[in-house]
Amino acid sequence: MDIERIHTPVMLERTVELLTPAIDHDGAVLVDATLGMGGHARALLERFTGLTVIGLDRDLDALAIARERLAPFGDRARFVHTVYDGIGRAIRREGYDEVDGVLMDLGVSSLQLDRAERGFAYSKDAPLDMRMDSSRGRTAADVIAEASEDDLRRIFLDYGEEKLAARYARAIVRARADHPITRSAELVAIITDATPVAVQRQGHPAKRVFQALRIEVNEELSVLERAVPAALDALQVGGRIVVLAYQSLEDRIVKRAFQAASTSTAPAGLPMELPEHRPRFKLLVRGAELASEAEQAENPRAKPVRLRAAERVRRPS
């Protein structure tokens, strides 16, 4: 597998720029909470020789590749098999109370998309798996087989923002009554058959359904809702966090957490803001930044990205 070909870190230079003030010193520690194949981590370790990176990932295949790629950095690269809402435990396990930086590059990885047998891609026939940690948990085939029609509709609507959620849920329930749906090509055929021709012209009809199933299987949104506050709590004063989100549901969670952390808690009507009410964080970018047009043209996976960043300015009293 040509890792360099399939894995181009998204918004790498902007990520490095934003993290630099926090990690450009000896003894700095950064958590790459979604290590993947280690693209961002390798660039940071190369540029900051005093930096230690603690890499987290639930995907054992990705961890194995990252270990190999980051082996030249010795014990400056550390690895923890965990979902990223376990960031606090991982930091303590490595002997730290707080860190200087956190990076979260969310969503499905290049490795997961490009290995057809993982079942993430609607364009490739494979078993309906979609687990980021293939050692545990329900598969997408389990969800398709066991969820009620109402639950399937909710999953497609809530996690895929799919307008035809009810239609697709009915079609799946009818089809599974005849035979188990265990492969991605079977599911794509069912969805395509249930999609009006005019809608098919607007894009691949299975895209949002596959996104929704992946989120359901991996509990991505509930994990993220726990992970962002935990990551913020782990930062020391002056520490920085950068989050790259690839769909609106993820970005909404990040936006809310950052807004809450960067907003004064002073009750309305107070004549002055007391120190304990001042924001704990300041935002480093206005809204969410997009990848440049040049990067989007060169790396299609950068097209949907939304980058947000923040810096801790004080600890709670």
Q: Are strands 235-245 and 52-57 parallel, antiparallel or unpaired?
A: unpaired
Q: Give the amino acid at 240.
A: R
Q: In what order do the strands lie in the sheet with 306-312?
A: 77-81, 52-57, 29-32, 99-105, 235-245, 306-312, 281-283
Is 247 annotated in some ligand binding site? no
The SS3 call for residue 251 is: helix
Is 259 annotated in some ligand binding site? no
Structure tokens at 202: 């607007």
Q: What is the DSSP letter of 183?
A: B
Q: Which of 137, 117, 132 is nearest to 81 (CA)?
A: 132
Question: Cβ neighbours of residue 176 under 8 Å, at least 6 residues apart?
Answer: 144, 145
Is 107 annotated in some ligand binding site? no
Question: Cβ neighbours of residue 31 under 8 Å, at least 6 residues apart?
Answer: 53, 54, 55, 56, 87, 90, 91, 99, 101, 102, 103, 231, 234
Between CA 168 and CA 174 the distance in angstroms is 10
Between CA 88 and CA 103 the distance in angstroms is 14
- Maximum distance among all Cα pairs of the chain, rounded to whole angstroms: 69
Is 96 annotated in some ligand binding site? no
Do 141 and 129 touch, CB atoms closer than 8 A? yes
Q: Which of 241, 238, 278 is nearest to 258 (CA)?
A: 241
Buried b (16+ CB within 10 A) or exposed e, 133-144: bbeeebbbbebb
Binding-site residues for S-adenosyl-L-methionine, please?
A: 38-40, 57, 84, 105, 112
Which residues does the annotation place in the binding site? Answer: 38-40, 57, 84, 105, 112
